[in-house]
Amino acid sequence: GQVISLTFYAMITPVNATVSTLQIQLYIITAIMILAAVAIALVLSDVIAKPLVGLNDRAKKLSKGNYNADFIASGYLEVKELSDTLNSTAIELSKVDELRRQLIANISHDLRTPLALIYSYAEMMQDFPDEITTTQVQTIMSETRRLSSLVNDILDVSKLETGAMELHMYHYNLTESIGETVARLSELLKNDGYSIVFQHSEDVYVTADEAKITQAFYNLLTNAVNYSSEDRHITVTQSREQKSVRIEVLDHGEGIAQENIPYIWDRYYKVDKKHKRAITGTGLGLSIVKKIFELHGACYGVESELGKGSVFWFQLEIQ
């Protein structure tokens, strides 16, 4: 019995010592681990959350219309990407805002002038009812026409911009359609000494939105009329290429300087602003033309020489 109990004690003592050593070690390790976890959490939150907090502050400014909120690209890759995205968003938003301001300024200027003219002529007619002249009446009429064409152009532009303008594509006789537009405008302008000739051989069918293509072509044709000088001959040509048909509108007018050509398709761009008032122009015509051809995926362009005239052209695919 003694031997057994001795052995028992001898074995218990080292086990106890080991257990307590292990326990202490476990406490120390746990403490170290907790400290390390806290430290890592602090570092991580600093790396992840801090740049996000900064981005959020700037995004709040951006939402209030401060487009200069510069998003600083710091932190890890995703945060850098996010701040780059936000930066480009801010730039795009500021561009849109600038365009909107310009558009409103232009529109209100264009609306104010004819309205003031109409008002002053109407006032004169009220004050001197016996002295009403045809010029006064004509001015009122032409200014009213200017206003309504401006309002129509603005509506078209905004429809095209918001994407509300859908294409209603169908197969139709382009030659016949162009011919009708030419005939309609010739009839309107024949007393002003304009001659518009349509040169074509065969009838060509295309799949497109007839109303929109007609509108674009009409804009090109009225521009040719508006910018004609003494020579009032305008030629419209239809020529067939392998898989497409090309329509050209040629005038012998004032032409466009090479350096201005890239800008004429922009909204509200007019080469000569002083001269323009005499002619009914809104500066929106070619931007509508551009949108329509882009919606169709059609090629279009202009060749022009100052003092000699211009050729505006577009090309539609034949299926």
Q: Closest approach of Cβ 272 to ligand ADP, in Å?
A: 6
The residue number whose beta carbon is nearest to ligand ADP equals: 285
Contact between 248 and 110 under an 8 Å Cβ cutoff? The reply is no
Residue among 179, 238, 208, 172 nearest 317 (CA) = 208
Q: Under rule CB under 6 A, which residues in 26-85 are in contact with ligand ADP?
A: none
Q: Of 310, 313, 314, 315, which lies in the binding site for ligand ADP, with binding defined by CB under 6 A? A: 310
Number of Cβ atoms within 10 Å of the Cβ of 133: 12
* Strands ordered across the beta sheet of 299-305: 195-199, 233-240, 244-251, 309-317, 299-305
Q: Which is nearer to ligand ADP, 143 or 251 (CB)?
A: 251
Q: Which residues of 279-301 are buried (b: 16+ CB within 10 A; e: fewer)?
A: eebbbbbbbbbbbbbebbebebe
Least Å from the CB of residue 182 to ligand ADP: 15
- Least distance CB 220 / ligand ADP (angstroms): 7
Is 286 a binder of ligand ADP (CB under 6 A)? yes
Instruction: Give SS3 for 309.
Output: strand
Nearest to 313 by CA among 235, 256, 259, 207: 235
Q: Pattern 242-281, binding to ligand ADP, x per CB under 6 A?
A: ---------x-xxxx-------x----xxx----x----x
Residues numbered 96 to 115 that lie near ligand ADP (CB under 6 A) are: none
Q: To the nearest whole angstrom, how small is the minimum distance from the Cβ of residue 179 to ligand ADP?
A: 20
Instruction: Choose the stretch contacting ligand ADP; rule: CB under 6 A; options: 42-50, 52-60, 61-69, 284-292.
Output: 284-292
Interface of this chain with ligand ADP, residues 138 to 177, rule: CB under 6 A: none
Stretch that binds ligand ADP, among 31-39, 119-127, 191-199, 224-232 (CB under 6 A): 224-232
Shortest approach of ligand ADP to residue 275 CB, angstroms? 9
Report DSSP letters for 156-220, one per residue.
HHHHHHTT------EEEEHHHHHHHHHHHHHHHHGGGT-EEEEE-SS--EEEE-HHHHHHHHHHH
In the complex with ligand ADP, which residue's Cβ is closer, 1 or 262?
Answer: 262
Contacts of 106 (CB under 8 A, 6+ apart): 268, 283
Q: Which residue in this structure is represented by tokens 């052209």?
A: 313
Q: Which stretch binds ligand ADP (CB under 6 A): 19-27, 108-116, 135-143, 283-291?
A: 283-291
Binding residues for ligand ADP (CB under 6 A): 223-224, 226-227, 251, 253-256, 264, 269-271, 276, 281-287, 310
